[in-house]
Amino acid sequence: MLHAPDLQHQQPAPLFGFDGRSELPAAFRGSVLLLGSFDGFHRGHRALLERGRTLARASGRPLAVLQLDPHPQVLFRGATRFRLVTGIARTLLLGQCGFDFLYTPRFDAAYAALPPGAFARTVLCDRLGVGAVVTGPDFRFGHKRLGDVDMLRALGRRFGFAVDTIDEVRDGTQRISSSLIREAITRGDLARVARLLGRDWLVGIARDAQGRWSFDAEQLLPPAGDWPVEACDAAGGGLVRTTLSLGACGDVSRFAAPSSCRMLRWLA
């Protein structure tokens, strides 16, 4: 079983959520802001997180992350069952990252239409007052994804914030990304999923009043079949190892787990 040392079996620290509809408290302005989807919290995300932590500690700034709500794939494609992590598992993993606050603006047509310069001015500067942003080398932003890292650096010089990037994190010849992990999940290659994540894949699961188990509607799942899993409590602690029988539509036909189960860890 793989475990990332900083993202397993730790109670999340309190996390301040900010959606941009009010004024950001002064204590959170000047932050080091991570830009990226953070879907799955894979090895590339952790490299980004470590760079952000280093900058925040060295400068005494808050550490923050931008998380669009809903995900752009929902707005543009009406996507379902595409997220690597949802619900309680996502909340747990975010809380364990050590962020001081989470910025979750409403991602709608108006937000998507912001040109790159307007995004930098109105969001990064006016709304958040960032001191620095950290992202990967292929980051795109603004209307029709017209902004890239070079443009972001130029906008940073114009508006007074620093821009730092990390190198790609690779698995052999391939860049580790959420898309690469999705491909492995749809093939049922959970050993590779665990390798790309740097830990076993943790997802949320819920039990209704009739005892039926189900996954979030946006949760990506492996192919139908019988899968070895570990039932986990709300803190990610293991309860029991068992088998989950998954149907073609994501329905659960067999899963013997305690009622205290809130998540499960897929065992490669």
This prediction's pTM = 0.89
Q: Span 16-165: which CATH code?
A: 3.40.50.620
Peptide bond between residue 70 and the one before it cis (omega within 30 degrees of 0): yes
Question: What pLDDT does residue 11 have?
Answer: 56
Nearest to 69 by CA among 96, 40, 33, 103: 103
The confidence score (pLDDT) of residue 4 equals: 47
Q: Which regions in the chain score pLDDT beneath 70?
A: 1-14, 70-71, 74-79
Write down the pLDDT at residue 202: 98
What pLDDT score was predicted for residue 3? 47
pLDDT at 264: 97
Question: Residue 13: its pLDDT value, please?
Answer: 57
